[in-house]
Structure 1
Amino acid sequence: MSHDAPITGPDEFKLNDYQQNIKHLSDEIVKAQAPIRILDAIKWDISVKEKFFAKKFKEQPEVTQEYYQKNVSLDWSKQRQLFHIIEREITKKLGQFNPVGQMMRRICSEYLRVLHMLEARGTMEFSLISQELYGSAKDVFHVGDPTLAQLGVMMADALSQINQSNLLEEEKRDINANDAINILQTELDKYFSEKQVRVMVSDGIIADAAAGADYIKIRSDAKFNERDLKILEIHEGLVHIGTTLNGKRQPICTFLSKGPPSSTVTQEGLAILMEILSLVSYPARLKKLANRIRAVELAEDGATFLDIFEFFRTEGYDEDSCYVLAGRVFRGSLPTLGPFTKDLSYCKGFVSVYNFILLAVRKGMLDRIPMLFCGKTNLEDIRDISQLVEEDIIVMPKFLPPQIKDLNSIAAWMCFSSFLNQLSMDKIESDYAYLLS
């Protein structure tokens, strides 16, 4: 297909008929998904927590199937019809095998499953569709590999050895919300243009902080340390908000500004990898990610909210944290049904993205790595995204973390990592054991 009107940028460009068709269909997807807010539709309000604590953690939280009906009042049938119409239009205007058309049809199919999942809140079907979209703790990356849950146990066991050391004391959280806002805003203004991303106070969130498309909210009574703020800057700011803004800059593939569940795995994997490469993550945070995987597995095997709450208590978390962590597992479901499995995305995504970058470096295809930041991308689409960049259908990202903007360091790091992966850890441990006895 000819592309005789090259795109010069998101502000000034002329589109040929082919490009206009893609943009129109892409815009329709963005409009159709606008009312769908997964986390808003499945969250528990503060009254659930207050009643649970009032009963001294002895009874399941008071959440029923009817409870969820007040959160969302979508016309499910009408919303599904919209995506079916768009799917059909994509095939009619772009054909069956067009790469961008295939990407957009898959996104429509995912949102149709999301609608089914949200309509099934408070039932076992909700959890089953969640596993279909985000994965199960029993999934493997390759035949014969450990499951995600087994990887979580292995990571938790390794980290438990570190936790026994007195050298890694937790840093005191003595930065109040107002100071945190000023610090974060200053750092983000260096990366984005001034005030393009806002940091603000909010009393309407349960977590210490929450991010949106172009903002980070800080709970007014939350306390932070410098490491917490650096993680927020990188994880929420440079990665999640950065990819959203890159997606919004797309002149044609506007659907890249919004992410279906499949992109969540890639995006969370990118965020965790950037934390680690920036040397701001820490063992307790990684152990929490591992424990989330273990909690999902327990819930898949029949554990209830109370069981998971107690699991986190045995891991040393305070009761507020236990409630939040257990709540993440059962939001959208019931306290005695299966889990919402989104918390698998972090580690699952990390392994997938790490392996992709490792292979890209090994094959000398470094140009593919920044493409992960073109918007809310899915790792599985990266070959098609590469082709669409060449065709001026997708533009390269403006906002990139430092490690991706200058690929020298990550290329060197991955080369050594590839080399070290060939060594036998068992033999190394045997050779060096006497040094650490």
Structure 2
Amino acid sequence: MGKKVHVNSEIIEAICEKINSDAPLNYELPKNGWLHIDKFLPFICIYRFKEPDVYFSRLLKTQASYLIIDETIDITKLLEAIRLTISEKFDTFLVLEVWPDVKNENTKFNINCPENVASETAIALKEGFSKLANTYPNVSANIHANGLKHPKHLQPIADVETSKKTGMLLIGVEVPVLYKNSETGELYSLFFREFYSVFSETIKRAVYEFIRVQTKDDFDNYLMLGKTHIDEITTKADAELASISEGMSFLLRTTPVNSNEEWEKFKENKFKKIPSFKYRLISIDPELEKRKLYNIAIDEIEDPTIAFILRGKRLEIEKQLTMLEERGTQNFKFVGESLYGVINKNLLKEAKKILKKFPKREKMKSANRFNCTEFAKHAQEEIDYYNSKFPNLNLSVEIRNDVAGIMVSKTKLLINDQISLDANRCDALIQHEVGTHILTYCNGKRQPLQQMFEGFEGYDQLQEGLAVIAEYLVGGLTVNRLRLLAGRVIAVQSMVNGATFIETFKNLCKKYSFSERIAYYITMRVYRGGGLTKDAVYLAGLIDLLQYLKNGGNLENLYTGKFNITHTALIEELLYRKVLKKPELPRFLERKSVQKRLKKLYKGLEIVELVN
């Protein structure tokens, strides 16, 4: 095998100093070796290679502690130095040596560990790897008490007696290379994504079992063993995605610029002539943007969780770019349905239930109304509070003549200069816009991923559900608000079923008693661009959120940034791993009246019970 090369003692000393500093360690070793230790953890994964397999190396790179090293280098002293450094905090140390089994058609994971030692760790490895059988036939994982804990042609990293005396446990895992063709080397890309996700989780669960049984150290969850720090490749990919998404301005470019003028014409024509909507010119080339989109190196991201998030966002952006190309055609609607979905039976049922329970628009109970200045004054008080929490973001209120009603743009609350609203709705609207949309943007800005404030794939659904729940919690959710959300679902279903603009408009007016002006704006939003099913997600988000809370979901985590209810498990993982920071919470949650209503949500409420 040739003469062994030892790792220089000066290198070892520098590595140990870096570990002690509790900063992430990335160290290049001789002959293309690489050591990564994200934080103080009582384990390390090791891959000793003859010729490095880039894809097998990526499996190890999913972990917070790994060593990838040429097999001609003696790592005995390096490993012992790392163990001694780590042992200042932990009583024991786990070494997982993994190596590829390139035999053709081999589908077995062989887990080799000492007899009657760390059985929980071995079982966790076996159960985890066996999950691949759901996708790949005949996959199995076997535990061998007396098997070799290293590749056959190599010497062990440490002998059994030495490891016993030092409290170091060695486990060897022979991994079948199922993710590529053994003859041609062709990678099965889609399967490899699943393979490395399963590998990543399995190792963390196994190490968690080792720590739980063998040490006194308290890790609340196996996810805490994942990486905390984000590398440059991930940061770059995240930033490039955010840049394309922001430059696209999808909603701005799919919203008519002449909706008010067309309303006047529609009314003059006695609602018999379909409006002719005009849109902003598209100042980007969707084809070039798609090329940039797929040049982003998401496939090189080592963290499976973040790769999954960014891949989902990329798919959303791609579909939105296609929709911009197809704006004004039937294809716009069809691509939109694949992106935002179609109406499911439960959503339509809930929408009809709301409109049956509240068949008429609720009349104003109070004659007291606020103009734009009065509303802005109240909103400014809330903005001032959050400015104290986020002093670097410059939150502000603006009164303008070029916005419809009230809306949020990043850190700005924009108010139309002609607005007049019921004073009783003031607090609810502020908590909807400031206490939800602006706050989640600000929390997202504190995070290392730009998607946390730009928004994950489908983030609107949860954002609007969360904002409506805020209205309920402060006692300001009205019948008219619920009716509006339900009316949007009815309009989307009507459009999907092939009804014309005028047919949908008349159905909202006659069957569901919406005023002509409100029915027009609901219909306009649904038929814009050629047909946009997106407006149904607002009620869907509210329904999802009610179920999430009833099932005991954590409300506080939902303020971490802008994402969908389907991403909550991923957000919890990143919070456990301390990749993400805990969010600043809306101050209305401190009110006793809000806490009482929140308890009702956790017990379970029907959607029609949300109206106070």
Kept after mapping to 2: 8 A contact 1:189/1:196: no
Q: Which residue of structure 1 aligns with residue 205 of structure 2?
A: none
Once superposed, which parts of structure 1, at least 4 consecutive aligned residues long, lie more than 4 Å away?
15-18, 404-411
Kept after mapping to 2: 8 A contact 1:5/1:16: no
Q: Determine if the alignment matches structure 1 residue 416 to structure 2 residue 608.
A: no
Query: Could you tell me how far apart the structure 2 residues matched to 1:390 and 1:187 are?
Result: 30
Query: Could you tell me how far apart the structure 2 residues matched to 1:405 and 1:76 are?
Result: 48
Q: Determine if the alignment matches structure 1 residue 233 to structure 2 residue 420.
A: no
1:35 match: secondary structure: helix
**Residue 51 (structure 1) aligned to one of 265, 271, 279:** 265
Residue type at the aligned position of 2:298: I
Quick one: structure 1 residues 282 and 179, their matched pair in 2 at CA, closer, same or farther if it must change by over 3 Å? same
Q: Which residue of structure 2 aligns with residue 152 of structure 1?
A: 351
Query: Could you tell me how far apart the structure 2 residues matched to 1:257 and 1:29 are?
Result: 12
Q: Determine if the alignment matches structure 1 residue 248 to structure 2 residue 434.
A: no
Kindly provide the CA deviation profile for residues 177-202 of structure 1, in whole angstroms up to 9, marking residues without a partner as x.
Answer: 12221222123323443894322112
Listed as ranges, the matches of 1:107-186 within 5 Å are 107-137=313-343, 139=344, 146-160=345-359, 163=360, 169-172=364-367, 174-186=369-381
Query: Could you tell me how far apart the structure 2 residues matched to 1:190 and 1:405 are?
Result: 15
Quick one: structure 1 residues 416 and 356, their matched pair in 2 at CA, closer, same or farther if it must change by over 3 Å? closer
Listed as ranges, the matches of 1:366-385 within 5 Å are 368-385=554-571
Query: Could you tell me how far apart the structure 2 residues matched to 1:189 and 1:17 are?
Result: 32
Q: Determine if the alignment matches structure 1 residue 393 to structure 2 residue 579.
A: yes
Query: Could you tell me how far apart the structure 2 residues matched to 1:154 and 1:227 are?
Result: 26
Quick one: structure 1 residues 415 and 390, their matched pair in 2 at CA, closer, same or farther if it must change by over 3 Å? closer
Quick one: structure 1 residues 208 and 103, their matched pair in 2 at CA, closer, same or farther if it must change by over 3 Å? same
1:184 match: secondary structure: helix
Q: Determine if the alignment matches structure 1 residue 3 to structure 2 residue 38.
A: yes
TM-score by length of 2: 0.57
Kindly provide the CA deviation profile for residues 207-244 of structure 1, in whole angstroms up to 9, marking residues without a partner as x.
Answer: 32222111122211121112332232111111111111
Q: Determine if the alignment matches structure 1 residue 203 to structure 2 residue 401.
A: yes
Quick one: structure 1 residues 225 and 196, their matched pair in 2 at CA, closer, same or farther if it must change by over 3 Å? farther
Question: What's the CA shift for 1:269?
Answer: 1.2
**Residue 60 (structure 1) aligned to one of 260, 274, 298:** 274
Kept after mapping to 1: 8 A contact 2:400/2:417: yes
Q: Determine if the alignment matches structure 1 residue 38 to structure 2 residue 250.
A: yes
Query: Could you tell me how far apart the structure 2 residues matched to 1:84 and 1:108 are?
Result: 8
Residue type at the aligned position of 1:105: R
Q: Determine if the alignment matches structure 1 residue 85 to structure 2 residue 280.
A: no
**Residue 476 (structure 2) aligned to one of 280, 305, 315:** 280
1:331 match: secondary structure: helix
Q: Which residue of structure 2 aligns with residue 292 of structure 1?
A: 488
Moved more, 112-121 or 303-312: 303-312
Question: What's the CA shift for 1:351?
Answer: 1.1
Query: Could you tell me how far apart the structure 2 residues matched to 1:153 and 1:312 are?
Result: 12
Query: Could you tell me how far apart the structure 1 residues matched to 2:453 and 2:499 are?
Result: 37
Give the superposed CA RMSD: 3.0
Q: Unaligned regions of 5+ residues in structure 2, if any? A: 1-35, 42-226, 608-612
The structure with more radius of gyration: 2
**Residue 540 (structure 2) aligned to one of 337, 341, 348:** 348
Query: Could you tell me how far apart the structure 2 residues matched to 1:164 and 1:120 are?
Result: 37
Give identity over the alignment, percent.
23
TM-score by length of 1: 0.79
Quick one: structure 1 residues 239 and 5, their matched pair in 2 at CA, closer, same or farther if it must change by over 3 Å? farther
Listed as ranges, the matches of 1:16-27 within 5 Å are 18-27=230-239
Q: Which residue of structure 2 aligns with residue 9 of structure 1?
A: none
Residue type at the aligned position of 2:398: M
1:34 match: secondary structure: helix
Kindly provide the CA deviation profile for residues 16-56 of structure 1, in whole angstroms up to 9, marking residues without a partner as x.
Answer: 97433332222222112121212211111234334334434
2:586 match: secondary structure: coil
Question: What's the CA shift for 1:316?
Answer: 4.0
Q: Which residue of structure 1 aligns with residue 384 of structure 2?
A: 189
Residue type at the aligned position of 2:384: D
Quick one: structure 1 residues 415 and 290, their matched pair in 2 at CA, closer, same or farther if it must change by over 3 Å? closer
Query: Could you tell me how far apart the structure 1 residues matched to 2:567 and 2:494 are?
Result: 32
